[in-house]
Amino acid sequence: MDILIRSTPDGVSLAAADILADYARRGATLGLATGSTPLGTYRELIRRYQAGEVSFADCTAFLLDEYVGLAPEHEQSYHHTIRHEFTSHVDFDDARVFSPDGTADNPWAAAAEYEQAIIDSGGVDIQLLGIGTNGHIGFNEPGAALDGPTHVDTLHPQTISDNSRFFDSAADVPIHVLTQGLGTIKRAGHLLMLATGEGKATAVAALAEGPLTTMCPASVLQSHPRVTVIVDEAAGSKLHNIDYHRFVEANALPR
């Protein structure tokens, strides 16, 4: 696991954009995340696209997750969010931006279809990840199967509380979600985890230095051969292995 520490959230976004742009230039399949953390990275990738530095025309994207019950056009659906925040601002082919079907009559069947679609595409080359304050990745909450496929899950009360900022109230946050499983995520060739802010410090320390346990789903990154974690100083403040700090502001990233 490479851990890169940047002094600011902007530094995290720039470092992440460097890595993702390299994959985009190769026409890779990108695993995309929603939430607040990757927004700076998406803004930077849009800027580079507008400057003619990168194209996504040959890329495919698979989202991590979706709320059950939100129609694609709902402004908090991840189908809508990823387009609004990123893919519709660059030359991504919209027909190649995939997400689980949150309005399927049978969400369990939709989960299995999504899992198969990822496999049939040849798999995700690089998966962008954020981390929940409770250690979740995708919507794999504490207790998730360490090798599970895309599935229907129930949000943890902490996640409902964390995500209520995007809705009118906590009561409006859907309780059920479709999410790539930890097994699905682990099949990606490269995992790129971003975290910023002090609120993520405990979860980041658990993912990197705690035991590999279903109680911290992000700790499965410890079992993947190619992981890059990029955090700002605040999110990295509870890491104890000071060797990580040699990466502060380093420009040459392990690729």
Q: Are strands 176-179 and 65-67 parallel, antiparallel or unpaired?
A: antiparallel
Looking at 132, 148, 174, 236, which residue binds ligand F6R (CB under 6 A)?
Answer: 132
Q: CB–CB of 214/206 below 8 Å?
A: no
Query: Among residues 44, 79, 125, 134, which one is catalytic?
Result: 134
Beta bridge mates, 30 = 61, 126
Residue 231 identity (one-letter amino acid): V
Q: Is 137 in the site for ligand F6R (CB under 6 A)?
A: yes
Rounded least distance, CB 218 to ligand F6R, Å: 9
Residues from 138 through 157 that contact ligand F6R (CB under 6 A): 138-139
Q: Which residue, 60 or 81, is less far from ligand F6R as judged by CB?
A: 81
Q: How many residues does the chain have?
A: 255
Question: Should residue 135 be labelled a site residue for ligand F6R when binding is judged by CB under 6 A?
Answer: no
Q: Is the dihedral of CA 27, 1, 211, 158 positive or negative?
A: negative
Q: Tell me if 218 contacts ligand F6R by CB under 6 A.
A: no
- Bridge partners (DSSP) of residue 177 are 67, 153
Q: Reply yes or no on whether 125 is catalytic.
A: no
Contact between 232 and ligand F6R by CB under 6 A: the answer reads no
Give the one residue of 21, 64, 97, 201 binding ligand F6R; rule: CB under 6 A: 64
3-state secondary structure 14-77: HHHHHHHHHHHHCCCEEEECCCCCCHHHHHHHHHHHHCCCCCCCCCEEEECEEECCCCCCCCCC
The answer to whether 100 contacts ligand F6R (rule: CB under 6 A) is: no
Cβ proximity to ligand F6R, 25 vs 166, nearer residue: 166
Catalytic residue among 44, 65, 232, 233: 65
CA distance 82 to 39: 10
Active site residues: 65, 134, 136, 141
Residues making contact with ligand F6R (CB under 6 A): 33-37, 64-65, 130-132, 136-139
